[in-house]
Structure 1
Amino acid sequence: MFSIQPYQNLHKAKWNNVINQSQSATFLFYRDFMEYHSDRFHDNSLLIYENERLQAILPANCVENSIHSHQGLTYGGLIVTENFDSSDYTDMLGYLYSYLKQNNITHLYIKALPEFYISSNQKYVDFKQNEENTIVYKSEKVLAIDYSKPLNIHKSKLKNYRKNETKGFVIEEETDFSLFWNKVLCPRLALKHNTKPVHTLKEMMYLKSKFPNNIKQYNIYFNDEVLAGITIFDKGSIVKSQYGATTDLGEKLRAIEYLFLKLIYKYKDEGKSFFSMGTVTENTELGYNPGLLKQKEELGCSTYYQDFYKIML
């Protein structure tokens, strides 16, 4: 019933068509997004056919004898078309595992979608279902606001928000990421965390050119001086704050807090389902940053989880 092909450039239209047909897919799975950092990863994406009809894709890269649901993406797994019969999941996975073993792959690593990305009517392959050789080797906290519930923003945040309404802040949606990247984000990450953004400025400008309606940059100014910014990835029913950073003055004036609340209200009014603020992961004994967790909870977020699977073939 099933056959598998490694992805090649000639399959781009077919691949993107599956993304168009799948409710659980987001713009991150389009080839134009996946390939902006193709020099960093050995792509080993797969197309899975059922009776010669393309029914699923696996965004993936290869590291030695292991296949990873693409390490350049926040999440992954098998993306299936809406007409795929869910009763065939087990058979499809069995065929996939056999194919990988025949190609000398010993392990398959999957970064599952965070819990709130999957609604009850969506088709999504659960890799831990009935699999003896599958372990959850990591589970990360992901913070998000569920717009179907009343907003639960801390009273101190709302008090400061109301005060700042008359301060004279100006919020602009920008098409150029340069000011935020060079004056706010990169200096802040270097100073506070001795690190750099995952995306370079050049990469962000490229991605913005490919996905102008999905990637947005909002900066906040006071007296013509940039104080903070937030980069939004709009994934349809879910929006995610991909980057958020502030200057020292912006921190003092609570500018990023004000900007977050403005965007939270904006996307609620637009009918989005969730506003995601990403993970609070930290390489410490706790495994997460309690201060960052508190900040996001006070902005109205609840904790969800993203599981990471290791499948021993």
Structure 2
Amino acid sequence: MSVEIKKYTQEYFNDWNRFVEESKNGLFFFDRNFMEYHSDRFTDHSLLIFNNNKIIAVFPANESGNEIVSHGGLTFGSLILSHYVKASEVLEIFNEIKKYYKAFSFNEIIYKAVPHIFHKYPSEEDLYALFRTEAVLFRRDISSVIDLANPIRFSETKRQLVRKCEEKSIIVAENENFEEYWALLSSVLQKFDAKPVHTVEEIRMLKGKFPDNIKLFEAKIENNLLAGIVLFDFGNVVHTQYMAASQEGRKLGALDFINHTLLQKFSDRKYYSFGISTEKQGQFLNEGLIQQKENMGARGIALDFYSIKL
């Protein structure tokens, strides 16, 4: 196979997006409309891989000093592949990518593998290529996921909270206005010296570009906001990107009630994802946080980070 590598430029905007949509492991946040909302924070150095003038793979990436990161502004990176690329060809693509970046004097690629549950079709040829190129696993986070075809039931305590919310006639509904919830979310995170990754302006803009993929669900009683969850909808997987509850909402178990409601709403999907419970590059497990997710029936998958020396 003859591989040609080209650096991404705006002239490939539509070609890139069309390929990601048709690929076997692409996600909506690899769409350039998503990737470029924070383009001022990252120096893009993404690649398109061609064979006979046809795109067969793309590699979302940015520069960070002497490193290439895939991708610093996204949860995952990875080589995004056509359905028709074979394992031996992925090995060749990896070797060509390494040569390409080395020629620009970069000394390392940080590769964040897309977990298998997010693949539209089996797509772990990259993991084999990482092994063959002697990539080093240097970080592993644990994320909590519910298998919607065979869910483990909520703990008794969680079920009691759900019943309490039902008795109080708490309403869970989708809301396209993010302002009130963002104020609640920001105040909750502020207690931990943190803030949302996205500003309210950014999440509003992204919602406008991806109305079917980004959704806000809120729990209210008599129009009083108790809790909310922002979902990223990846098709096979629905992922809780942000969760927060007011003090009253925590007492009532409003977040548990939203999750209970959403698990029923999205029961036709494959997985319901809560995200990671690890800190300090995966070295610290927040046991209280992961227990909350496990009490709703979630169990662990690994999110892996690899270093490829050039």
Range of TM-score over shorter length:
over 0.9
Contact 2:151 2:297 in 1 (8 A): no
Unaligned runs of 5+ in 1: none
In the other structure, the counterpart of 2:210 is 211
Distance 1:17 1:213 in 2: 17
Cα distance, 1:186 vs structure 2: 0.4
From 288, 293, 308, the equivalent of 1:291 is: 288
Distance in 2, matches of 1:151 and 1:64, equals: 45
Q: Which residue of the partner structure matches residue 312 of structure 1?
A: 309
Structure 2 Cα separation of the partners of residues 161 and 168 of structure 1: 11
**Structure 2 CA distance, aligned partners of 1:187 and 1:150?**
32
Cα distance in 2 for residues equivalent to 1:172 and 1:285: 34
How many residues were matched structurally? Answer: 308
Conservation of the 8 A alpha-carbon contact between 2:227 and 2:246: yes
Question: Paired residue for 1:241?
Answer: 240
Deviation at 1:131, TM superposition (A): 2.2
Are the equivalent residues in 1 in contact too, given 2:116–2:122 (CA < 8 A)? Answer: no
2:157 counterpart SS class: helix
Call closer, same or farther: CA 1:308–1:14 in 2, change over 3 Å: same
Percent of aligned positions that are identical: 34
| 1:150-161 equivalence runs, <5 A | 150-161=151-162
Cα displacement (A) at 1:199:
0.4
Q: Distance between the aligned counterparts of 1:71 and 1:284, measured in 2?
A: 14
Alignment of 1:31 with 2:28, yes or no, is: no
User: Residues 81 and 285 (structure 1 numbering): CA distance in 2 closer, same or farther, change over 3 Å?
Assistant: closer
Structure 2 unaligned segments of length 5 or more: list them.
Answer: none
Q: C-alpha displacement at 1:281, in angstroms?
A: 1.7
Q: In structure 1, the residue corresponding to 2:216 is in which secondary structure?
A: strand
Alpha-carbon deviations, 1:94-136, whole Å to 9, x = none?
111111111111100011112432477346522422222x100
Conservation of the 8 A alpha-carbon contact between 1:177 and 1:201: yes
Normalising to structure 1: TM-score of the pair? 0.94
Q: Hey, what's the Cα distance between the residues in 2 that align with 1:97 and 1:140?
A: 25
Aligned residue type for 2:132: N
Return the alpha-carbon distance in structure 2 between the equivalents of residues 237 and 92 of structure 1.
Answer: 27
| Aligned CA-pair RMSD | 1.6
Change (3 A) 1:310 1:178: same
Give the distance between the partners of 1:297 and 1:266, measured in 2 at CA: 20
Shift of 1:190: 0.4
Give the alignment's TM-score, normalised by structure 2.
Answer: 0.95
CA displacement at 1:162 relative to structure 2: 2.0
Amino acid in the other structure paired with 2:61: A
Equivalent residues of 2:118, 2:234 under 8 A apart:
no
CA distance in 2, matches of 1:119, 1:79: 11
Asked if 1:231 is matched to 2:219, the reply is no
